[in-house]
Structure formats: structure tokens, C-alpha cells
Amino acid sequence: MVKPIDWEQLKAENEAIARQEFQGQQTVLTARPLFLQIETTNRCNFNCKICERSHHPPKPHMIDMDIVDMLEENLFPYLRDSSLQSFGEPLTDPNFDALLERMTAHRIHAGFTTNGSLMTEERLEGYVRAGVFLCLSLDGATAETYNRIRPNGNFEAIVARFAQVPRLRSLYPDSGFKLRIHFVATTQNIDDLPAMLEVGERIGADEIEALNLLTLRLPATVAHWSLEHDPLRANQRFREAQEKALTSTVTLKLPPYYDEPDTPPVDLSEARNYILWPKLTDSPSPYPNSCSDPWTLAVISANGDVRPCCVWPYSMGNLHRQSFEEIWNGPGWQKIRRRVNSRFPQRPCKECTLWSGINAGRKETVQKQLPFICRLHSIGQEVARIFRAH
């Protein structure tokens, strides 16, 4: 008789190895990723102004099922979590639900982010029943604000569809389903943040997470929507939303407050990486956070490209031509592990606005506090980038 696989033990052993290798800042790893982000398709039915895809349209791709088979054999058994999206709308992929079922069969806590436009009641009930972690991108509390950022969307129709969640939860109370609203906070919608709690209550959301705008590959006109250009208004709306959340059924997650003129810099000393491992204690890095992504995460694009995180703009290799092991422990990934938590990280890491990155979500605050030698290094990187561009 074949002994059944103890999925939990396999995952726990892999996580213990990953933790040791991260603490030791090893560059060649034995552990497999704990988290996998798979872009099943880069097609999207929206043209959102805050998405780099709208400004740098990719060649349309859907992930090759041979790649999925390889990932299932080599990585699925070790994964804790997986997110099935990146720059496309996953529900445009006809194979999406089948892939989701394959992941949950391996005891992977699978989830995805959707714009919600293609959600049907039947599909939504299936996700609630399966205990999926579903994130709904909703960047406004009114149709007017929402359409300013997502001009292809129908705000009222999407909210009406997700308003079925409370009823569906009552049918499957023990499924573990979780609904989060992703709200990319910008100068165009920050005034709606307090009212987002009411929207969240209407659709039965567990939490709202306000996210920083990722500006790395956006045109200057859109990058200027970053709240670092209006810190007083941003902090005021953060405070109002936090006050309102005290009596709401919805949990509110905010990025760090912004620096304000004539006030001490925001304290980022309590920043933590995504999986809440202890920060490195003997690192020479002057940055407030220790990033663990290069040791725990892999992002698979629909065309087979592999990257170390969602912010990193360059491919480390392609699964049509290389094995995952060759890429995971290849020279590019080793270089990132060697430098991300050092005094001189690579440019995408310095530009990261994720709260789990080395800047703890406040790159402008961190840049002003860096030692002179680190700021000089950044200037050199920018000069080199300009020369390469020309």
C-alpha cells in the first residue's frame, strides 16, 4: 500500500530550510519557493491608467500547460501559497479554474486578483465553496472616481455582483474563503478611502489594503499621481479611514504614513518582510527592511519568463528554454540575493514601493536618510541607466 503524501510536513520542512538559508543570506538554495505567482495570461479586458501594461502593451500570451505540468511536479508540493495573476485579468483564461483546482489539490492556499468584470454568480459561489483568497481591485468608492482610473469598468455592476458574497458565505461558513479589496491609493482617489469601508461592508470584504502606486514603468504624468506628491492630504485621509475602521466590520491595512514638512521623518524601524520573518540582525544594509522575496518567491509570466518578484522588470530566464532549477540558482538570481540586503542593492530594489520591500513602502523617506556613499551609488546607477538608454 502506497503511503499517502504528508503535504503539511513536506511544506514545513521546505519552509524551515528556506528560513535558514535566508538568515544565512545564502545565494545558492536547497529550498524551493514558498510562494508562486503565476500569470496564466497577460491578456486584459481593461486599460487601467495605473497599470504598466496599459503603457507598455505586451505580446499576448497564455501560459503553456507543459510549463504548468512541470511546475506541478517540481514546485507545487512545497508551496504554501500561490497567486494566479500578474498583469493580465485571470478570468479571461479559459483554463483558469482547472489550474486553480490543481493547486488546491496540493493543499496550496491559492488566490488571485481580479477586476471583477467577468465574475458570474456561479463562479463566485465556486470560489467561496473552495475557500479561495480572492482580491478585488477596486480603486474608488464611487463610479466617478473608479472610472477615472479604470475607464473600461462598470463600478455598480461589479459591486452588485460581489454583494452576493455575504449570502454565499452563509452557505459555506467553514470554507475559509477570504475577500480583500485592493485599493491603489493615488492623488486621483485618496479622498474616497474612508468611504471604501462602506463599500467593503456592502460586499462582505474581510479587509481593504491600500497599496502604493508602483511608478517604475509608468509615464511621468501618471507617476506624478503618487501620494508622495501630496503627503498632507494622504495622511489626513489615512487618519480618517483609520478612525472609521474602528467601528467597521472590515479590517483596514495602510502603508506607512508619509513624511510631512517640518515634522520628524516617519519611523520605519518596525517594518517587516512579507512573511514576517525576523529582520536580519547582522546585515550591513542601511535600509529599514530585509527583503526575503529572492529566497521565497518566484513569479512566472505567461510567456514563460521567471522573475524574483512582481516589481523586478527583467527576466531571470525562460521555462521554455531552461529548467526552473537553472533559473532559481542561476547567476542573475544569485546576484539579487547577494545585493538586495546589502549597502548597494540593485536599482529595482531601490525603487520598490512595496511595504515588504527594503524601503518598507517609503522610498522617498529612505532615500533622504541614506548615508552619502549609498546616495552616490544611486546617482551612478542612474547615470549608467541614461547612457545605456542612449
**DSSP category for residue 352:** -
| pLDDT for res 125 | 97
Query: Which residue from 306, 311, 337, 344 is spatially nearest to 324, judged by alpha carbons?
Result: 306
| pLDDT for res 57 | 86
249 burial via Cβ count (<10 Å: 0-12, 13-18, 19+) = exposed
Task: Give residues with Cβ within 8 angstroms of 376, minimum separation 6.
Answer: none
Higher pLDDT among residues 310 and 390, named by residue: 310
Q: Average pLDDT for residues 177-196, to the nearest whole number?
A: 97
Q: Average pLDDT for residues 271-276, to the nearest whole number?
A: 60
Q: Average pLDDT for residues 30-55, to the nearest whole number?
A: 92
User: What confidence category does residue 266 fall into, taking pLDDT thresholds of 50, 70 and 90?
Assistant: low
| pLDDT for res 281 | 83
| pLDDT for res 275 | 56
Q: What is the model's pTM?
A: 0.87
| pLDDT for res 368 | 83
| pLDDT for res 45 | 92
pLDDT tens digits along 362-385: 888 888 888 888 888 888 887 777
- The position carrying cell 502506497 is 2
Let me know: does 349 contact 291? Beta carbons within 8 Å.
yes
- How far apart (Å, rounded) are the C-alpha atoms in residues 222 and 225? 5
| pLDDT for res 53 | 84
Please spell the DSSP secondary structure of 125-182, one letter per residue: HHHHHHT-EEEEE---SSHHHHHHH-TT--HHHHHHHHTTHHHHHHHSTTS--EEEEE
Cα–Cα distances in angstroms (integers) from residue 272 to residues 28, 236, 275, 361, in the given order: 24, 24, 8, 11
* Per-position b or e across 94-120, b if 16+ CB within 10 A of its CB: eebeebbebbeebbbbbbbbbbbbebe
Q: What distance lies between CA 367 and its chain's CA centroid?
A: 22
Q: Average pLDDT for residues 221-246, to the nearest whole number?
A: 95
Task: Give residues with Cβ within 8 angstroms of 123, minimum separation 6.
Answer: 91, 97
Could you give phi then psi for residue 93, rounded to 5 degrees?
-90, 120
Query: Which residue from 10, 74, 37, 18 is spatially nearest to 306, judged by alpha carbons?
Result: 37
| pLDDT for res 248 | 97
| pLDDT for res 376 | 84
User: What confidence category does residue 272 fall into, taking pLDDT thresholds of 50, 70 and 90?
Assistant: low
| pLDDT for res 251 | 96
Whether 1 has a pLDDT exceeding 60, the answer reads no
The 3-state secondary structure of 82-138 reads EECCCCCCHHHCCCHHHHHHHHHHCCCEEEEEECCCCCCHHHHHHHHHHCCEEEEEC
User: What confidence category does residue 9 fall into, taking pLDDT thresholds of 50, 70 and 90?
Assistant: very high
2 burial via Cβ count (<10 Å: 0-12, 13-18, 19+) = exposed
Q: What is the mean pLDDT of the chain?
A: 91
Higher pLDDT among residues 311 and 149, named by residue: 149
| pLDDT for res 35 | 95
Let me know: does 366 contact 271? Beta carbons within 8 Å.
no
| pLDDT for res 308 | 95
Whether 264 has a pLDDT exceeding 80, the answer reads no
| pLDDT for res 367 | 85
| pLDDT for res 174 | 94
Query: Which residue from 77, 80, 85, 71 is spatially nearest to 323, judged by alpha carbons?
Result: 71
Bridge pairing between strands 81-83 and 109-114 = parallel
pLDDT tens digits along 333-356: 999 999 999 999 999 999 888 888
pLDDT tens digits along 145-183: 999 999 889 999 999 999 999 999 999 999 999 999 999
- How far apart (Å, rounded) are the C-alpha atoms in residues 7 and 34? 13
The rounded percent of the chain whose pLDDT value lies above 70 is 95
Q: Vertex 345, ends 35 and 254: CA angle to 5°?
A: 55
The rounded percent of the chain whose pLDDT value lies above 90 is 69
User: What confidence category does residue 294 fall into, taking pLDDT thresholds of 50, 70 and 90?
Assistant: very high
| pLDDT for res 195 | 98
Whether 315 has a pLDDT exceeding 90, the answer reads yes
The 3-state secondary structure of 22-72 reads HHCCCCCCCCCCCEEEECCECCCCCCCCCCHHHHCCCCCCECCHHHHHHHH
- Dihedral angle of Cα 327, 332, 336, 339, to the nearest 10 degrees: 150
